[in-house]
Structure 1
Amino acid sequence: MVSFPPNQSTTNPLPLPTHTQLPTSDPADDEDAEGDDDMNLANAPLSTGKRKGGDRYGASHPLKSLTPKRIAAIAAGLLFLIFFFGRSTGTFSSSRTGSGSDIPDEAAVRLDKLPPNSPQKLPSANSGQCTPPPGKKAKSYAIMIDAGSTGSRLHLYTFSHCDPDPKALPKLEDELFVTTKPGNGLSKFKGNPNAAAESLRDMMQRAVDAVPKSEQSCTPLAVKATAGLRLLGSKDSQAILDEVERWLKTEWPFPVVEDGVVIMDGRDEGVYAWITINYLLGLIGPGQPASAGTAAVMDLGGASTQIVFEPIFDPVTKDKLAPGDHVYDLDFAGARHVLYQHSHLGYGLMQARRAVHNLVAYSHVWLSPHKGSPIDWDSLSEKDKIHNPCMFKGEKKVVTLDPPGRNEVQVTMEGTGAGFEACRRVVEVMIAKDAACEEPPCAFAGVYQPKMGEVFAAGKVWALSFFYDRIAPLGLKSPFSISDLRQLTSDVCAGRKSSAWSRFKGNKEAMAELTDRPEYCLDLTFMYSLLSLGYELDEERQIWMGKKVSDVELGWALGAALAMIEGHLSCRADL
């Protein structure tokens, strides 16, 4: 069982800080650089070091199992159907049925209005109505550093403990958020561990300035690095981690928790995000019956997508999760949760684009002899225009192609505007729903996953990161049904000159987004197909999305901090 948190080293208290940062840019918006620096390669073991033989694809990548011949054969047949029979945009009507039988009654909770049992409804430490548990202060602090490849981000959380129940979860009072300069991730300092540690100095000083001196020795600190550092290889990355830990322990007053400076396992990342959402919604913690259910998390980054949920099996059948790495046995706030989790490497939004472009290009090359002009792959260049059904008609974009077994080349993709149904047929090949399933049931790409319609029929499903970034600007509100997303996708894919785009009239944000992204049809089609075909969510299943809940940022950092302070912490005695 994974107990959260394990024995670590700290507890307790700062004046209420505010969101602030050093010079920065939002790496989440830099989609064509690294996509999700916090999630790609998250499941690869640290000892793997550098990849051999120029292999750009992990074992679970959607194109890894496809040889050039297989891809060519599949793509040729697929694109033949698309270009000759698939120009329909897929017209249909979409209606919201309200709360169907599989939609929980509590689904009416608004993003800005939390349920009464959420810890965020507790009194504040300064309210005069605070009764902390015996032996505990009313206020405590925790520092979590997210060391991503594009930069490091420090989260200083202020918690109030105003429920006298010793097992009660705290209320998040405030967060100080500080970042390093763009591009100053720890991975930038390969071969120079001292400089890597020093890159954190300004943000650490901000934390010292914010935490009262009397509380600094009792404020736990952890650093969790992600994909960028892993790519350096085990020797270089470990040297940086060791120096950062030494530096933090010797130069700063905060106690570094046990195993507190590490490369975060992808399993933990998804579960921490799960803790964050279920904590805010009041679905975990003391007094929550197991029958109440918890919320699922689906996080879409640039390189991978993650899913975490707590399946509920019929006690009569005595079914349970099949054994494997997908099982996460979590002990949190005195309760046990057996979670299903998986990080699908290669199925992030940027990797999905990459795979679709490769499939379309393979078909282009494969069909060229039949058109009387055979094309050699290695001769492709930006001068070559390849028609893409997942892009708006006439839109052009230079893309890099790099399928397994072929040299990397650049070509110009030009949209055909063929519409949603045409694009969906390409995307569904990439999702690989029919891949061999060694341990049924499988979601997609041959990965075991219990069917959500059977073991998670009534729980909330939360979609994060790129789901929010692409869908919210277009005016689709949370919660929405899968059929709503399908209609939106069909309307977007219909193109600028279609009557369907009248829904975006007057929405400046939507028009700016659509104008700036020629692959918007591809992005939405992938999201719809991932949810409906990949995860088999019913068309009327409700999906919640957001970046914040009641002004609290969603993501793994808060969950990790909660796990940290829920452990057996002790203050430093050497100060």
Structure 2
Amino acid sequence: MSLSWKERAFLALLGAATASGLTVLILILVEASSVLLPADTKFGIVFDAGSSHTSLFLYQWQADKKNNSGVISQALACRVEGPGISSYTSDPTQAGESLKGCLGEALGLIPKAQHPDTATFLGATAGMRLLSQKNGSLARDILAAVTRVLSQSPVDFWGAEILTGQDEGSFAWITINYALGRLVKYSSSGEWIQPAEWAPVGVLDMGGASTQISFVPMAPILDQSTQTTFRLYGRNYSVYTHSYLCYGRDAALGRLLAALVQQSGPQRPVHHPCYHSGYQVVLPPAALHGSSCIPSSAVLEPPRNLTVLGTGNPAACLAAIRALFNFSSCAGQRECAFNGVYQPPLRGRFYAFSDFYHTFSFLNLTSRQPLGTVNTTIWEFCQRPWRLVEASYPGQERWLCSFCAAGLYVLTLLQGYGFSADTWPSIDFEEQAGGVDIGWTLGYMLNLTGMIPAEAPAPGRAQSYGVWTAGVVFLVLTIGTVLGAGAVQLLWPQE
């Protein structure tokens, strides 16, 4: 018996659908090629526990590393509320509790499944170095408190420790040179490569309690105690770095005050040449008793309040600041900075950040002005009466009185490092480099990634564009013929 037209149409469409479907299946199974899918993103958290405050930095990088070092970007910077952890001597547990707010903010940006794999580290700097020298037991209690909090969080906590000044300076060197593309950079072809011309940048860091200088000198480093070596992105680096404890901004200005107290005598008001004329303040005993950088001979017994009167005399201020340094110890020595400390000749450009930048930013001196202009600007600011200074900077009274002394201190310190009118233009006063905050934390994380196992890209399968297009066409044809066959079966009238 012969087939009806309806049956013939139905079988033809069904056959076409079957052939098209088999073609799609063959394209998927036979023409697919093996590919490597992108590796997962990894995360790391570093707490920078400085002398005046603590900051959290969250970093991320692809798990398939470049020459055993991750290519890292900054995902979050969070300033912890409250003072530095070294201030919690009366209640160490609060040092740990203070970290929870920023930690929670960071965890909110990391996929929950990756919390247990997020390497987390806390590094304490000069504030805790000083406390450890003064009272080692209290310093250990504070570190134990932050360790307890971070160990109980869902991250992979690697530990809390007090960094050496050399670590702080050398990791800051890594941070800036990485951020500026001096270690590795993204090429126009879409690959991470090492720059053909390598010109490393030196770094100048100043915190509240210490200051660091780090750079790659032209000649070999003669004092091995000042040398730090790294291997990053397949290349070895040898960096000179030295840290001066008690030469940070807050510590130096505290030592300056103590020296002026000794000169004034125990009962009389202290005449401060670095404070503006007309400025007067009564300071509590903690202004002298609270710092390990102030010698015991300068501490008043019994403790009493200090009345300080500003005289606005930049020449006397500069003389008092220079007395904090021992420049004569380097007389006749070419490779020496001050206090008899070995330092090779300066080389290349330098980035000055932290309190270097904050001081000169306030004084509007971050545009590479000549050294003569910088000197003149600071002296004119120091000579302005306090009432005019107050009126010019409303809402900044807390730190306003200290910028004259800080400006002259920065000048003295940089000249002690060896900068002159000729080399002054080589200093860039910056808060960021390459869009990331400058400090030791990114450098630490870059170095740390050399110890985190790399993950190979996950295997997968994919087709070429032409095969993929053909597969889509045949898939659409299959669906169309199946729908057509169904329509024939349902809608074609019976013969």
Q: Same fold (TM over 0.5)?
A: yes
1:347 aligned residue (247, 250, 256)? 247
**Count of equivalent residues:** 397
Aligned partners of 1:304 and 1:343 also within 8 Å:
yes
CA distance in 2, matches of 1:279, 1:297: 12
Q: What is aligned with 1:129?
A: none
Q: Per the alignment, in what secondary structure is the counterpart of residue 212 of structure 2?
A: strand
Q: What is aligned with 1:306?
A: 212
Q: What is aligned with 1:524?
A: 407
Aligned partners of 2:203 and 2:352 also within 8 Å:
yes
What code does the residue aligned with 1:397 have?
Answer: V
Q: Please state if 1:539 is matched with 2:395.
A: no
1:388 aligned residue (254, 272, 279)? 272
2:340 aligned residue (446, 450, 458)? 446
Q: What is aligned with 2:237?
A: 337
Q: What is aligned with 1:210?
A: 109
TM-fit CA distance, 1:544: 0.9
Q: What is aligned with 1:430?
A: 324
Q: What is aligned with 1:559?
A: 443
Aligned partners of 2:117 and 2:155 also within 8 Å:
yes
CA distance in 1, matches of 2:112, 2:356: 41
Aligned partners of 2:95 and 2:142 also within 8 Å:
yes
- 1:151-194 per-residue CA deviation (whole Å, 9 max, x = no partner) reads 653322233589x955675251x52344544248387377876x
Greater Cα shift, 134-143 or 270-279? 134-143
Q: Please state if 1:158 is matched with 2:40.
A: no
Aligned partners of 1:187 and 1:237 also within 8 Å:
no
Q: Per the alignment, in what secondary structure is the counterpart of residue 432 of structure 1?
A: coil
CA distance in 1, matches of 2:373, 2:181: 28
Q: Per the alignment, in what secondary structure is the counterpart of residue 210 of structure 1?
A: coil
1:288 aligned residue (195, 215, 235)? 195
CA distance in 1, matches of 2:106, 2:89: 23
TM-fit CA distance, 1:355: 3.1
Q: Please state if 1:414 is matched with 2:414.
A: no
1:405 aligned residue (282, 293, 297)? 297
Q: What is aligned with 1:477?
A: 366
Q: Per the alignment, in what secondary structure is the counterpart of residue 441 of structure 1?
A: coil
Q: What is aligned with 2:482?
A: none
TM-fit CA distance, 1:410: 4.6
- 1:24-52 per-residue CA deviation (whole Å, 9 max, x = no partner) reads xxxxxxxxxxxxxxxxxxxxxxxxxxxxx
Aligned partners of 1:330 and 1:338 also within 8 Å:
yes
Aligned partners of 1:392 and 1:519 also within 8 Å:
no
TM-fit CA distance, 1:472: 0.9
Q: What is aligned with 1:488?
A: 377
Q: Please state if 1:265 is matched with 2:164.
A: yes
Q: 1:280 to 1:435 in 2, by over 3 A?
A: same
Q: What is aligned with 1:175?
A: 75
1:465 aligned residue (354, 374, 378)? 354
CA distance in 2, matches of 1:151, 1:350: 13
1:145 aligned residue (38, 47, 51)? 47
TM-fit CA distance, 1:557: 1.8
Q: Per the alignment, in what secondary structure is the counterpart of residue 446 of structure 1?
A: coil
Q: Per the alignment, in what secondary structure is the counterpart of residue 356 of structure 2?
A: helix
Aligned partners of 1:180 and 1:200 also within 8 Å:
yes
CA distance in 2, matches of 1:261, 1:168: 22
- 1:261-312 per-residue CA deviation (whole Å, 9 max, x = no partner) reads 32222211112221111111111235235x6321111112222211111111
- 1:176-230 per-residue CA deviation (whole Å, 9 max, x = no partner) reads 344544248387377876x765654454444443211343343222222334555
Aligned partners of 2:352 and 2:430 also within 8 Å:
yes
Q: 1:397 to 1:235 in 2, by over 3 A?
A: closer
Q: 1:241 to 1:517 in 2, by over 3 A?
A: closer
TM-fit CA distance, 1:243: 6.9
1:254 aligned residue (134, 149, 155)? 155
What code does the residue aligned with 1:461 have?
Answer: F
Aligned partners of 1:134 and 1:166 also within 8 Å:
no
CA distance in 1, matches of 2:36, 2:70: 14
CA distance in 2, matches of 1:432, 1:398: 31
Q: Let me know the Cα RMSD of the aligned residues.
A: 3.8
- 1:224-249 per-residue CA deviation (whole Å, 9 max, x = no partner) reads 23345552644554466467557655
Higher helix share: 2
Q: What is aligned with 1:122?
A: none
Greater Cα shift, 237-246 or 219-228? 237-246
What code does the residue aligned with 1:153 have?
Answer: S
CA distance in 2, matches of 1:478, 1:484: 11
What is the TM-score normalised by the length of structure 1?
0.60
CA distance in 2, matches of 1:239, 1:386: 37
Aligned partners of 1:184 and 1:199 also within 8 Å:
no
Q: What is aligned with 1:86?
A: none
What code does the residue aligned with 2:343 have?
Answer: Q
CA distance in 1, matches of 2:138, 2:258: 33
Q: Per the alignment, in what secondary structure is the counterpart of residue 223 of structure 2?
A: coil
Q: 1:546 to 1:513 in 2, by over 3 A?
A: farther
Q: 1:531 to 1:178 in 2, by over 3 A?
A: closer
- 1:507-535 per-residue CA deviation (whole Å, 9 max, x = no partner) reads 955x7658963343222111111112x11
TM-fit CA distance, 1:484: 3.2
Aligned partners of 2:69 and 2:449 also within 8 Å:
no
Q: Please state if 1:274 is matched with 2:173.
A: yes
Q: What is aligned with 2:474?
A: none
Q: Per the alignment, in what secondary structure is the counterpart of residue 48 of structure 2?
A: strand
- 1:62-116 per-residue CA deviation (whole Å, 9 max, x = no partner) reads xxxxxxxxxxxxxxxxxxxxxxxxxxxxxxxxxxxxxxxxxxxxxxxxxxxxxxx
CA distance in 2, matches of 1:410, 1:392: 20
CA distance in 1, matches of 2:250, 2:141: 31
Q: What is aligned with 1:61?
A: none
What is the TM-score normalised by the length of structure 2?
0.68
Greater Cα shift, 262-271 or 547-556? 547-556
TM-fit CA distance, 1:564: 1.9
- 1:352-399 per-residue CA deviation (whole Å, 9 max, x = no partner) reads 2233334444444xxxxxxxxxxxx44x2xxx2343333322322345
Correspondence list, 1:313-324, <5 A: 313=219, 320-324=220-224
TM-fit CA distance, 1:425: 2.4
Q: 1:213 to 1:224 in 2, by over 3 A?
A: same
